[in-house]
Structure 1
Amino acid sequence: MKNLRQSVLRARLLALLSFLTLEILLVSGVFLASLGLFFYLTRVVFSAHSLTFDNWAIGQANALRTAWPPVTNSALFVTFFASFPFLVVAAVLLPAALRWQGRKREALEVFLAVAGASLFNQLLKTYFHRPRPATALLPQPGLSFPSGHAMIGMALYGCLAWLLWRHGRHPAWAGLLVLWAVLIGFTRIYLQVHYATDVLAGFAAGLLWLILLRTALRLYWREEQQVLK
Structure 2
Amino acid sequence: MKAFTARLLARISLITTEALVVGVLLWAAVVVFFYLTRVVFVNKSATFDWWAFSTMDTLRFAYPGLTSVVLVVTFFASMPFLLTVGILAPAGLLWRGYKREAWELLWAVAGGAILNQLLKIHYERLRPDTALLPQAGLSFPSGHAMIGMTLYGCVAWLLWRHGHHPAWAAALLLWTVLIGLSRVYLHVHYATDVVAGFAAGLVWLILLRFALHLWEQIVGVTIKDEVEVTEGE
Q: So what's the TM-score if we normalise by structure 2?
A: 0.89
Q: Unpaired runs of 5+ in structure 2?
A: 1-11, 225-233
1:212 to 197, 207, 213: 207
1:69 to 64, 71, 75: 64
Structure 1: distance between partners of 2:176 and 2:141: 15
Structure 2: distance between partners of 1:139 and 1:44: 26
Q: Which residue matches 1:194?
A: 189
Q: Which residue matches 1:167?
A: 162
Residue identity opposite 2:188 in structure 1 = V
Structure 2: distance between partners of 1:166 and 1:29: 19
Q: Which residue matches 1:22?
A: 17
Structure 2: distance between partners of 1:219 and 1:20: 14
Identity of aligned residues (%): 61
What secondary structure does 2:156 align onto?
helix
Query: By how many angstroms is 1:20 displaced?
Result: 5.2
Q: Which residue matches 2:87?
A: 92
Residue identity opposite 1:80 in structure 2 = F
Q: Which residue matches 2:28?
A: 33
2:44 to 46, 49, 66: 49
Structure 2: distance between partners of 1:18 and 1:25: 10
Q: Mean alpha-carbon deviation: is it higher for 164-173 or for 189-198?
A: 164-173
Q: How many residues align?
A: 213
Structure 1: distance between partners of 2:134 and 2:198: 22
Structure 1: distance between partners of 2:65 and 2:121: 35
Q: Unpaired runs of 5+ in structure 1?
A: 1-16
Structure 2: distance between partners of 1:88 and 1:128: 24
Deviation per CA, 1:170-201, whole angstroms, max 9, x where unpaired? 22101111111111000000000000000000
What secondary structure does 1:29 align onto?
helix
Structure 2: distance between partners of 1:171 and 1:101: 23
Query: By how many angstroms is 1:217 displaced?
Result: 0.2
Deviation per CA, 1:87-115, whole angstroms, max 9, x where unpaired? 00011100010001000110000000000
2:172 to 170, 177, 183: 177
Deviation per CA, 1:5-45, whole angstroms, max 9, x where unpaired? xxxxxxxxxxxx89952111101100000000000000000
Q: Which residue matches 1:8?
A: none
Q: Which residue matches 1:10?
A: none
Q: Which residue matches 1:135?
A: 130
Residue identity opposite 2:146 in structure 1 = M
Structure 2: distance between partners of 1:168 and 1:191: 36
Structure 1: distance between partners of 2:165 and 2:50: 39
1:59 to 54, 76, 82: 54
Structure 2: distance between partners of 1:49 and 1:20: 41
Residue identity opposite 1:205 in structure 2 = A
What secondary structure does 2:149 align onto?
helix
Structure 2: distance between partners of 1:44 and 1:219: 35
